[in-house]
Amino acid sequence: MRGIVRQMLAGRRGSWMGKRSGLCARLGELTAAETHHAAEIQREEGEQDSLNQRIYTLDAELRQNQRSFELDGAGSGSQREPDCV
């Protein structure tokens, strides 16, 4: 009887070890994918920061140009048509 129980337990242990090995491999795959995605997100966040800075710079330039345009228009006393080429 004990021999049968030992054989049954040994079979189960072997099955569990196989499942464990598969789970460890899958965990490694998931970890690698997560690391890749985290690096990709970090790169994209850096790009977004650069784009935000560029937008800020362009916005400031636009405001300056609008002020300049308003001053030019106010000082001339008349509105003139833009020069077209």
Write out pLDDT tens, residues 16-31: 888 888 999 999 999 9
Highest mean pLDDT among 3-7, 51-55, 76-80, 81-85: 51-55
Query: What tokens appear for 36 in the block?
Result: 């890749």
Contacts of residue 79, Cβ cutoff 8 Å, sequence gap at least 6 = 73
* Res. 74: pLDDT tops 70: no
Give 84 or 11, the one with higher predicted confidence.
Answer: 11
CA distance 30 to 22: 12
Give the per-residue pLDDT at 15.
83
Write the pLDDT tens digit of every residue in 32-44.
Answer: 999 999 999 999 9
